[in-house]
Structure 1
Amino acid sequence: MDILETDAYDKRQRRNLSCALFLSLLPFFLSAALYFYLWTPDSPASIMSAVVKSAPILLLAAVVLSWNGGQSVLGVVGGLLFSAVGDCCLIWPEHFLHGMGAFAVAHVLYTFTFLSSRYATFSSSSWLRLLYLILFLCGGGFYIYLYPFLQKAPDSDVIIPAVGVYVFLIILMGILAVRTRNTATVLGGLSFIVSDISLSLQLFKVIAPMKHGNALVMVTYYLAQLLIAVGDVKAVENKDGFSKWKRS
């Protein structure tokens, strides 16, 4: 095949892969829609609530595992599984610290994944270094702003350092997501930060409860996890050419 034929073939393969990926994500979209349909502000904490909330994340983990194989268990799949554990814990307010710990592990797994060879390595330009600095400063500034409200929380002696460590980990994850220059991964990392900021402002009573506060948190959260999952699949796809498709 000449260059034009090869380019057309590659475009068809990309379209076919994108369609296959979209179809594999349909259970995620349906389960996320089910969560928003069933959730109400007065929903009691229950096993069923935990299952419905974590189901979209578990389905995302299954999608990434099916596309990337067992190598992703200690990467994005592992991060999604720990996120599902965190989702379940946050259903019950008394397990908040356990939930935050599970999400912290997820961010660590995402961080190491974004540093792996499956993501293309680029030299950091001056504007990227500036963006890294801005993210770190925003994270530190947000923690300082949140600090007086953390002091009022029950078990503040544990909450204060725990939140500090968590803020550091999620900002680091966001920075390394930006470093990949993978559009889905970058947007996913930043969306996760937005989701957690929204949650913490409401949880620690920095702002008055919002009418659609939970919807804002969960939409940005599910979007973040979706983009991180898709970014990981695309990263492997770009690295391997279309070997997965050609083998099938």
Structure 2
Amino acid sequence: MDILETDAFDRRQRRNMSCALLLSLLPFFLSAALFFYLWTPDSSASIMSAGVKSAPVLLLAAAVLSWNGGQSVLGVVGGLIFSAVGDCCLVWPDLFLPGMAAFGVAHLLYSFTFLSSRYSAYSSSSSSSIWIRSLYLILFMIGGGFYIYMYPFLQKAPDSGVLLPAVGVYIALIVLMGSLAIRTRNMATLLGSLVFMVSDLSLALQVFKVVAPMEHGHVVVMVTYYLAQLLIAVGDVNAANSNDDIAKWKRS
């Protein structure tokens, strides 16, 4: 009977946590909806548009901070803040390189977080199994293949001397982040990282004119981008709370 009561209590706790997490994410959903409502293809670059674009990610950072505390500032919260900086930079085409650098720092912070003990409840020694290694290899092959495919188009860019190495480093960083997300075995984190890669690859194809302008290309990029950040944030909250539950169980 005690075991059944404990199991029922755990289920109630998880349900209550899910409801509380959903409530804390409402500002993110509302601000993302506002962005898509206000954005138009001919929107001009301005401080207002930069603020509306970065607001959802900043609100996600605030939500993760409220759940995980200051320990997440040098992790997912820090990555979200740098992502918001990147969002602001990309509003102005001339700030593309600083924006890419900001996102590169965000991927590094995510990568360091995925290596932390916070995700130890998910990862294990079996993470070095053959299929996990195969996924690592596939991701790096996709990243390398995409860079090779993009190379001729990057050469045509006005600042190709800077873009060629910068894009290469950026692709390496996001592939590393995706690979470490696989290691965590946290489903939300893994999906968020992979969707982030899809969003960035879609953006690169449009920015460097690899594909013809798509009617809803910007919408595809932003929907996948916000979804990726949401999943990474939720994954971090779940990882922290899973560690807390394990620690309580050990103490008991």
What TM-score results when the alignment is normalised by the length of structure 1? Answer: 0.97
Tell me the residue number matched to 1:2: 2
8 Å CA contact 1:150–1:204 kept in 2: the answer is yes
| One-letter code aligned to 1:208 | A
Give matches, 1:1-248, under 5 Å. 2-120=2-120, 121-122=123-124, 123=126, 124-241=128-245
Q: Which runs of 5+ in 1 are unaligned?
A: none
- Please state how far the C-alpha of 1:243 moved relative to its aligned partner: 8.4
| One-letter code aligned to 1:202 | Q
CA deviations on 1:17-69 (whole Å, 9 max, x unpaired) are 00000000000000000000000000000000000000000000000000000
| One-letter code aligned to 2:213 | P
| SS of residue in 2 equivalent to 1:241 | helix
8 Å CA contact 1:13–1:242 kept in 2: the answer is no
8 Å CA contact 1:83–1:103 kept in 2: the answer is yes
What is the root-mean-square deviation in Å for CA atoms of aligned residues?
Answer: 1.2
- With 124-133 and 219-228 compared, the bigger mean Cα shift is at 124-133
| SS of residue in 1 equivalent to 2:40 | coil
| One-letter code aligned to 1:147 | Y
| One-letter code aligned to 1:65 | L
CA deviations on 1:103-124 (whole Å, 9 max, x unpaired) are 0000000000000000023222
- Please state how far the C-alpha of 1:167 moved relative to its aligned partner: 0.2
Q: Which runs of 5+ in 2 are unaligned?
A: none
- Please state how far the C-alpha of 1:241 moved relative to its aligned partner: 1.0
CA deviations on 1:87-139 (whole Å, 9 max, x unpaired) are 00000000000000000000000000000000023222211110110000010
What TM-score results when the alignment is normalised by the length of structure 2? Answer: 0.95
| One-letter code aligned to 2:146 | F
Instruction: State the distance in 2 between where 1:88 and 1:162 align.
Output: 19
Instruction: State the distance in 1 between where 2:159 and 2:171 align.
Output: 18
Aligned length: 244
- Please state how far the C-alpha of 1:147 moved relative to its aligned partner: 0.3
Instruction: State the distance in 2 between where 1:140 and 1:175 align.
Output: 14
Instruction: State the distance in 2 between where 1:34 and 1:178 align.
Output: 32
